[in-house]
Amino acid sequence: VPVTEFAAERAWLGAAGYAEQVLVGVGADGLITSVERDVEVLPPDATRLPGLLLPGLVNAHSHAFHRALRGRTHTGAGDFWGWREQMYTVAERLDPDSYLALATAAYAEMALAGITTVGEFHYLHHAPSGARYDDANAMGRSLVEAGRRAGVRVVLLDACYLTADVDGSALAGPQLRFGDGSATAWADRVDALTDDLPHVGAAVHSVRACPPDAMRDVAAWAQARGAPLHLHLSEQRRENDACLAAYGVTPTRLAADTGVLGPRTTAVHATHLTTDDIGLFGEANAAACLCPTTERDLADGVAPVPSLLDAGSGLCLGSDSHAVVDLLEEARAVELDERLVSERRGTLSPERLLAAATAGGSRSLGTLGGAIAPGCPADLVTLRLDTVRTAGAPDGSEVLGAVVFGASAGDVSHVVVDGRLIVEDGQHLLIEDVPGLLDRSVRAAMS
Ligand SMILES: [Zn+2]
C-alpha cells in the first residue's frame, strides 16, 4: 500500500521507456509499490515533481576527498602522474573529522546534481604514518556518515592497497596510510564494516597496488559475499607497460587470471585495452566505468566503448576526481568523445547513455534500482524543462536527447532517495548552505 505518491507530467522510467502523466506510489519502506502512466488527472495531493522525471542518477566511482582539488590542479603541463603528486598532498592532511566535513559537502553537491547513490572507492584508510586509528575503519565510517548527512546512499568500496607499483615496491610517504600490509589484514578490517553496514563492497586499487596473490584474495572475499568488486584498470599506458614487463600479460588478462574479472566486477576507466582484453570483458560479463570529465582532465585517453558494448560489457559512469560533478556531462561525453575518435555520430543513443547513468551504475554497485518500477527504491530526480538550457525542449520522447545533450546538473529540481525528498526546487533540504560547507571544508583540507 503506497503511503506517498509522486506525480510527474513527463518521465523516463528506465527500461520501460518514456511516459507521460505518471503516478509513482511509494511504501513505508521507501520502495516503489506502483507506477501508473497516462493518468488522466494526476491527484492534487500527490507530491508534484516538475519537469522530466528520471530514476536517481548513480555515480559509480567517487573519491570524495578529490573534491578539494577542484580548481587547483587543472592548469599547467604534465600528465596523470604529476597530478597524482598534487592529489597526495590532500591525502596527507585529512583526519576522520575533516574527512567527514569534506565528504558531506561533496555528497551534498552530488545530491544537488541528482545523484542518489554513490560508489565511494575508498583507500584513505589509516593515519598519515600508516598507524591505525582507534577504530581502524574510522575514515570509512566518516564516508558513510557523510552520505547519511547528505541524504545519498553510499556504497563503500573498500580498496586493498599494498604496493607502490607493479614491481612490488613498498608503500612510502603519503601512500603509507592507504595500506593494510596484507590482503588478510585488509579482509579482517573490512569484515568489521560489513557487520553493521548494508552497502560494503571490495576493490583492488589497481594492478599497481595489489600483487596477483592479493588480487586473488580480494576476488575470493567478494565472491564469497556476493559483493561488488571494483578496480582501476588501464587508465594509463604506463600501467600496461609495467604489467607486461612484470607478468607478461596486460592488466585485464591479469585480472581475469586472478578471478578479479567477473559478473559483479567493474573496471574503472578501461581506457587502453587490447582486442583480447575487450573479449575478456564480454566473457566475464564485467562492466566498465567511464569517468570522461576526469579522463580528459588527466589526459588519459578515450575508452573503446563501442567494442566493449559489442563484446557484452556493462557500462556505468563516475565523477572520480570531481573535476566536474554532473552525470549528464559524463553521459554525453561518452558519446561526444566517441564522435571525435570515430568521426561518426550517434553510436550511443540518449536512452543508452541514461541507462549507463542509472541502471548501469546500480548493477555495478549491487544495489536494486536504476529504474522507476515496482520493487525498486524510490530514488527519483527531476530536471526542469524551463531553464535557459532546457526551455523549448521537444515534446514526446525526443526530450531525452534534449536533456542528455543540453541539460546540466544545475537543472536538477527535485531529488528523492528511498521515498524521502532530499532536494526541492534546487535546494538541499538537509544542508542549508552547500556552497558554504564546500568552501569551509575544502579550505580546511588545503590549509
Ligand atoms: Zn578513481
The pLDDT tens digits for 38-77 are: 999 999 999 999 999 999 999 999 999 999 999 888 887 8
Report how far ligand 1's centroid is from the alpha carbon of 59 (Å): 12
CB 400 within 8 A of CB 414: no
State the cell numbers at 440.
Answer: 569551509
Report how far ligand 1's centroid is from the alpha carbon of 248 (Å): 25
Report how far ligand 1's centroid is from the alpha carbon of 121 (Å): 7
Report how far ligand 1's centroid is from the alpha carbon of 295 (Å): 10
Report how far ligand 1's centroid is from the alpha carbon of 312 (Å): 23
Report how far ligand 1's centroid is from the alpha carbon of 235 (Å): 9
The single residue listed with the C-alpha cell 603509507 is: 176
Report how far ligand 1's centroid is from the alpha carbon of 429 (Å): 29
- Tell me what pLDDT residue 84 has: 87
Instruction: Concatenate the DSSP letters of all residues of 288-317 into one string.
Output: EEE-HHHHHHTT-----HHHHHHHT-EEEE
| Inter-CA distances, 409 with 220, 393, 424, Å | 38, 16, 14
- Structure-derived torsion over alpha carbons of residues 33, 20, 347, 403, reported in degrees to the nearest 10: -100
- Tell me what pLDDT residue 368 has: 87
pTM (2 d.p.): 0.97
Report how far ligand 1's centroid is from the alpha carbon of 63 (Å): 6
- Residues in the chain with pLDDT < 50? none
- Residue 427, strand partner residues: 424
Report how far ligand 1's centroid is from the alpha carbon of 72 (Å): 18
Report how far ligand 1's centroid is from the alpha carbon of 318 (Å): 9
Report how far ligand 1's centroid is from the alpha carbon of 255 (Å): 17
Within 8 A by CB and 6+ apart from 338, the residues are 302, 305, 306, 344, 347, 348
Report how far ligand 1's centroid is from the alpha carbon of 15 (Å): 28
In this structure, the chain runs to a length of 447
φ, ψ of residue 301 to 5 degrees: the values are 130, -175
- Tell me what pLDDT residue 83 has: 82
Report how far ligand 1's centroid is from the alpha carbon of 206 (Å): 10
CB 49 within 8 A of CB 414: yes
CB 114 within 8 A of CB 56: yes
List the alpha helices (DSSP H) in 289-426. Answer: 292-297, 305-311, 327-342, 350-357, 359-365, 399-406
CB 114 within 8 A of CB 57: yes
